[in-house]
Structure 1
Amino acid sequence: MNADDLPSLLAELTRRYEVPGAQLAIRWKGRTLTAVTGEHVLGAGPPVTPRSCFPLGSITKPFTAAVAMELVAAGDVDLDVPLVKYLPAFGAGRVATLRQVLSHTAGLPANVREDTGGDGNRLRWVARHCREADLAYPPGTVFSYSNVGYIVAGLLIEEITGLSWEEAVDAFVLDPLGVKACPDEEAGPRLVGGHAVNAARGTVFPIAAQNLPALEAPNGALALSAEDLVTFARLFLTEDGLTGPLGTETTGLMCRDQLHTTTAGPFGLADGWGLGWALYGDAGTAGHDGTGEGTSCHLRFEPAGGTVVALTTNANTGQAMWTALLERLRAAGVAVEDHFPALGLGSPVPARDDLLGTFVNDDTAFEIGRAAEGKVHLSLGDRPYGELTCYEDLRFTMRELSGAAQTHTGRFVRDPATKRIEFLQISGRLARRRDGVGSGHGAIG
């Protein structure tokens, strides 16, 4: 692999997946190789440059985690002390810790309830919606991906530093690295717009703006370039030597699996989870994925091996493009691990009746039901979202009905005591069968 190979590879893949614009940055054998292609908005320019900022979505979370871990390193917070000591308004903090929040094991709901964001005041929102009674699972028992947890982490940062979350990320992480993020409100030449691709219909529609509420900024508000992501990831490489705000003890801890005692891991997202970072395979690869309104961004790095791969795209087909990119890079000798939950699925089987029903995580309801011609659909609310293909071991694949060429792998999970199919897990979110919700404090095992 050399620098001359990347532009043609990136251009080929963006054409195949109808992505209007993308950046690719690779750190390999001590060099950083980059390529860009396309335009910010389909048919309306400007062209993508190395400095263009793509909305990162959930790749924002490791930046939030990095600030929180700097506070741990400074002795301002203890990873394993109940968070109520530092955040009295966080009622669930009587039993949840920062380690659990950063590793998605605090038992908090997956998402913010609709129409509760209000004016974006995190302190008021956490006091009202993060009580102990609001927990979906007992802390420390299961992995369930939680945007709510990173609202709590953002509030913790604000309360301890006296800065806004945005100011703290700049001061603690970005400024020391010489990285400049695009503010949400910036509509200037650096900020890239998203696109909705319907591959079945051959349509690509620009999306006017990101709709992330201010409350959720610590979850997904950053907009950076692929080169910026490589710069951040280099802080976590064992032999890179890049100086920055995080010491080696902190970076090593953030990349260490925290899920040894949980009974449900991050199936469908990763093979393990550190403090802010997802973990992949057996070789120690870390990273994160992020989606916004019509954007899809991806980051992987090998702390010991020194390889980093970052891809930013401005279309909802970016996930499929990322999978194809990794295959091509492996063939060229640039290999990083990823999560492959669809391996070994075997042959499809008819969906059993005991898989059907409603599974909930707080106010998010996944309805599994039969559709026409024997098909099985997953619906969100009253809207069919994906078509399921089931397999013998209770795993399934789900093809999005939007035509985005996106396929997810999930699973149904039995309750060990009753042997009943009690849980649904997809995209790392764990949902309980509705008639088994009870007090909200049950757990697997």
Structure 2
Amino acid sequence: MPYTVPAARAAAGAPTRLREEIQSRLEALADTHRVPGAQLVLDTGTETLSLYTGTADTATGVPFTADTAVALGSLTKPYTAALVLLLADDGDLDLDEPVAAHLPELSGLPGVTVRHLLSHTGGLPTGPDSDAASTTNGSRYLAALCTAEQALFPPGTDFSYSNAGYVAAGRLVETITGMPWHEAVRTLLLDSLGTRPAFIGDTAAARPTAAGHAVNTATGQVRPVRQYLAPLEAPAGALLGSAADLAALGSALVGRSQVLPPAVAKEMRRGESGARPGALADGWGLGVALFRQGERVWCGHDGNAQGTSCHLRADAESGMVVAFTGNAGGATGLWRDLTRELERVAGIRVPATARPATDRGRPVALPECLGTYRNGGVAYRVAAGPDGSPVLSIDGDLSLPLVCYPDLTFDLLDPATGRPEPGGRFHRDPAGGRVERVQVSGRTARRVDDC
């Protein structure tokens, strides 16, 4: 049964034995998933449990602390969205006006609104990788990408996770405030949250920071990895922060602080029509993912940079906020296992992923889905494998077997374990005929060719 607020407070009040047990599980799971260091914060608004373990950088041996900042990856996006909502609350823009009213570089997509950007429902492609983005500026980047020819679907009708949308949101902030995004997010949001700013690319860190890590497949050793992001992509993924910093944002999102006016926090948490994120979450608001758990709807976001994995969940009904950071790719698995342990030892149920799909019937071949699909410069090819079952490749790499179902959803088989993981879904055209799109892990691609 779902946890009750008194039970959650008992956990956050942290009797010594419970605190020690959660700390022990955090340390054991970090070791199991080969994550050098991690942080966990449980906050009810009246009491807070803050735990951390391990090493911030295996090259130097510097230990993790509660203040160590970790590259948040896409968890930067809720901060950028909050900036835009604050500007809207001040009357500087309208969420339902075309973005092109402020950014001429989006004139090729006149139907895309500010709301569409923040909810990933504008049909914008994902965008080029950081290396390609480093050779241009934000205006040229958006003008080349945001065209009718590259649009994935009509605005407001579907969902496709897009860094480009948040590059545009950051440009919007800069255009209206006259400040660079880094300065705007610091002065308008981070200072109020009590978060000391740190960003990927800083030449001199103003606070302790963690390196990202990956496992060297040849030696089996965990080693630091270089973290890089093109400057124009900063509003989509450049922020560093601790679990305590994420918890401060979570408190604002559920209306427990004055940093976000109640109307702004509520607007961010409200599910947007057309936002069907598939495997990413159960719904999407303005800058935050939505996760259903029984009658509750948690908001939050996940973020992965090079060699880090960070997660935020907040429940407006109870006020519970849970934040986690880890400085290795394996921290995603650590987070999922940790949420199960929190339920086991403390009675706190935290949704780590979208709800499991209900019974979808027996797997089917779906030969009508075979073909090539494209999102910007990324090609997704679904072809028949040696045994006739569909196989997905992305830009010619990997070959992931698909398990397809009559409702056009599919699972991906993990190549390491063979276990099915929620993968996405196919879409027919509005008349219910030909399959015209595929969504893979929240990113939609438009069909361009048959197999």
Same fold (TM over 0.5): yes
Write the deviation string for residues 306-359 of structure 1: whole angstroms up to 9, x where unpaired: 111111111212222222112222232212335435443567636443333222
Alignment of 1:75-90 (within 5 A): 75-90=91-106
Q: 1:386 aligns with which of 362, 378, 400?
A: 400
Q: Which residue of 1 aligns with 2:7?
A: none
Alignment of 1:4-403 (within 5 A): 4-28=20-44, 30-42=46-58, 44-92=60-108, 94-112=110-128, 116-184=132-200, 185-186=202-203, 190-197=208-215, 203-238=220-255, 240=256, 242-244=257-259, 246-259=260-273, 262=274, 265-281=276-292, 282-331=295-344, 332-345=346-359, 349=363, 351-371=365-385, 376-384=390-398, 386-401=400-415
Does the 8 A contact of 1:294 with 1:316 survive in 2? yes
Report the 3-state secondary structure (helix = DSSP H, G, I; strand = E; otherwise coil) of the residue aligned with 2:232: helix
Report the 3-state secondary structure (helix = DSSP H, G, I; strand = E; otherwise coil) of the residue aligned with 2:304: strand
Does the 8 A contact of 2:55 with 2:61 survive in 1? yes
Task: Please give the alpha-carbon distance, in whole angstroms, between the structure 2 residues aligned to 1:302 and 1:136.
Answer: 32
Task: Please give the alpha-carbon distance, in whole angstroms, between the structure 2 residues aligned to 1:435 and 1:312.
Answer: 41
Q: Percent identity?
A: 38
Task: Please give the alpha-carbon distance, in whole angstroms, between the structure 1 residues aligned to 2:418 and 2:41.
Answer: 24
Q: 1:410 aligns with which of 424, 429, 435?
A: 424
Does the 8 A contact of 2:58 with 2:224 survive in 1? no
1:44: Cα distance to partner? 3.8
RMSD over equivalenced CA pairs, Å: 2.7
1:408: Cα distance to partner? 4.3
Report the 3-state secondary structure (helix = DSSP H, G, I; strand = E; otherwise coil) of the residue aligned with 1:424: strand
1:58: Cα distance to partner? 0.5
Q: Which residue of 2 aligns with 1:442?
A: none
What are structure 1's unaligned runs of at least 5 residues? 437-445
1:248: Cα distance to partner? 0.6
1:93: Cα distance to partner? 5.1
Are the structure 2 counterparts of residues 75 and 182 from structure 1 closer, same or farther at C-alpha, using a change threshold of 3 Å? same
Residue identity in the other structure for 2:410: F
Write the deviation string for residues 111-137 of structure 1: whole angstroms up to 9, x where unpaired: 236764244521232233323443222
Does the 8 A contact of 1:255 with 1:275 survive in 2? yes
Task: Please give the alpha-carbon distance, in whole angstroms, between the structure 1 residues aligned to 2:148 and 2:119.
Answer: 18
Report the 3-state secondary structure (helix = DSSP H, G, I; strand = E; otherwise coil) of the residue aligned with 2:310: strand
Does the 8 A contact of 1:87 with 1:93 survive in 2? no
Residue identity in the other structure for 2:397: R
Task: Please give the alpha-carbon distance, in whole angstroms, between the structure 2 residues aligned to 1:16 and 1:142.
Answer: 38
Residue identity in the other structure for 1:322: W
Does the 8 A contact of 2:371 with 2:449 survive in 1? no
Residue identity in the other structure for 2:118: L
Report the 3-state secondary structure (helix = DSSP H, G, I; strand = E; otherwise coil) of the residue aligned with 1:110: coil
What are structure 2's unaligned runs of at least 5 residues? 1-10
Are the structure 2 counterparts of residues 202 and 342 from structure 1 closer, same or farther at C-alpha, using a change threshold of 3 Å? farther
Task: Report the TM-score when normalising by structure 2.
Answer: 0.87
Task: Please give the alpha-carbon distance, in whole angstroms, between the structure 1 residues aligned to 2:89 and 2:110.
Answer: 22
Write the deviation string for residues 348-390 of structure 1: whole angstroms up to 9, x where unpaired: 6364433332221122111223445666532221211534333
Q: Which has the higher mean CA deviation after the structures are superposed, 120-129 or 155-164?
A: 120-129
Task: Please give the alpha-carbon distance, in whole angstroms, between the structure 1 residues aligned to 2:176 and 2:378.
Answer: 32
